[in-house]
Amino acid sequence: MTAAIVTPVRRLVVCGAGLIGGSFALALKAAGLVERVVGIGRTRASLERARELGVVDEIALDWPTALAGADVVLLAMPVGQSNDVMAAMAPHLAAETLVTDAGSTKRDVIEAIYAHLDGHLGQVVPAHPIAGAEKSGADAAFATLYRGRNVVVTPLPENDPAAVQRIRALWEACGATVREMSPQDHDRVFAAVSHLPHLLAFGLVHDLAGRANAEQLFSFAASGFRDFTRIAGSHPEMWRDICLANRHALLAELDQYLGELAYLRALLMSGDGDRLETLFGEAREARNRWAEKTFPS
């Protein structure tokens, strides 16, 4: 285990003490790697709840208070707030304070970093923990959320290697596997395997819920529908921000998928059972091979 050689964080600031930020705090607490967690965010009630639950130890109502003596800051609010948050914290950020984030998109977060934290580029390490989040808030946070999960780190060229190493080590102490990639690759990959499926699931439920016979339709939906639409239970603001931040890659994926649907439509129109069966068979094989490897039972 690498946890033994990680220097504990004396003062961790979590901006957005919800599922993602809260679980990071709880995981570091469980690993004995943080002395004090400070929560900051938009909503006083959410912060109070996080303190009640022991997710954070104290609440800060402004950045000067939060950042005084902070050695690590995790930005875990919806990515649409990156510019506002970074602009607000920048004047109070000490040179030695390490900053990282948990945003589901990376190019937009990095743009905000260059815009607002350009005096701190050695110490600001962008990252993205890949953890399911259809529940949200401090109540949903738990210490083992990141165990066995991937965390993607997309270091800046300006990053101090020691800063990158420290962020990696903290995530590894949470039980995660850290993988590095470029922000461009990150945003393209997650447009395909995460952002597009969310869009498709939101769209299907929205489509059906608006029908005159919506109640009848839902009354016959079963477990396949439940699983297919689970991600349509995700946080609307978070997903609005992700879709907007990554819209170029997401549009490219959507268009590629519309091409696939046009092909399927043509097979249905012409009643081409052979090609349908082949396509379904290839999908089944790829899906089951992946699932057996990734989620061994």
Max distance between CA atoms of the chain, in angstroms, equals 68
| Least separation in angstroms between CB 109 and a copy of itself | 17
Stretch that binds a copy of itself, among 19-27, 82-90, 157-165, 288-296 (CB under 8 A): 288-296
| Least separation in angstroms between CB 9 and a copy of itself | 26
213-232 residues in contact with a copy of itself (CB under 8 A) are 213-214, 216-218, 220-232
Indicate whether 284 belongs to the interface with a copy of itself (CB under 8 A): yes
121-150 residues in contact with a copy of itself (CB under 8 A) are 130-132, 134, 149-150
Q: Which helix (H) or strand (E) holds 34?
A: strand 34-40
Indicate whether 205 belongs to the interface with a copy of itself (CB under 8 A): yes
Going by C-beta distance under 8 Å and a sequence separation of 6 or more, which residues neighbour residue 241?
78, 79, 80, 81, 105
Q: Please say whether the beta carbons of 254 and 199 come within 8 A.
A: yes
Instruction: Report how far residue 69's alpha carbon sits from residue 121's, in angstroms, rounded to the nearest whole number.
Output: 19
Out of 58, 104, 286, 296, which residue is the one contacting a copy of itself (CB under 8 A)? 286
Alpha helices (runs of H) in 31-106, residue ranges in sequence order: 44-52, 63-67, 82-89
Indicate whether 282 belongs to the interface with a copy of itself (CB under 8 A): yes
Q: Give the neighbor-by-neighbor strand order of the sheet with 177-180.
A: 127-129, 150-153, 177-180
Indicate whether 266 belongs to the interface with a copy of itself (CB under 8 A): no
Indicate whether 194 belongs to the interface with a copy of itself (CB under 8 A): yes
72-101 residues in contact with a copy of itself (CB under 8 A) are 80
Task: For a copy of itself, give the closer residue by CB, 97 or 105.
Answer: 105
Q: Please say whether the beta carbons of 66 and 5 come within 8 A.
A: no
Indicate whether 297 belongs to the interface with a copy of itself (CB under 8 A): no
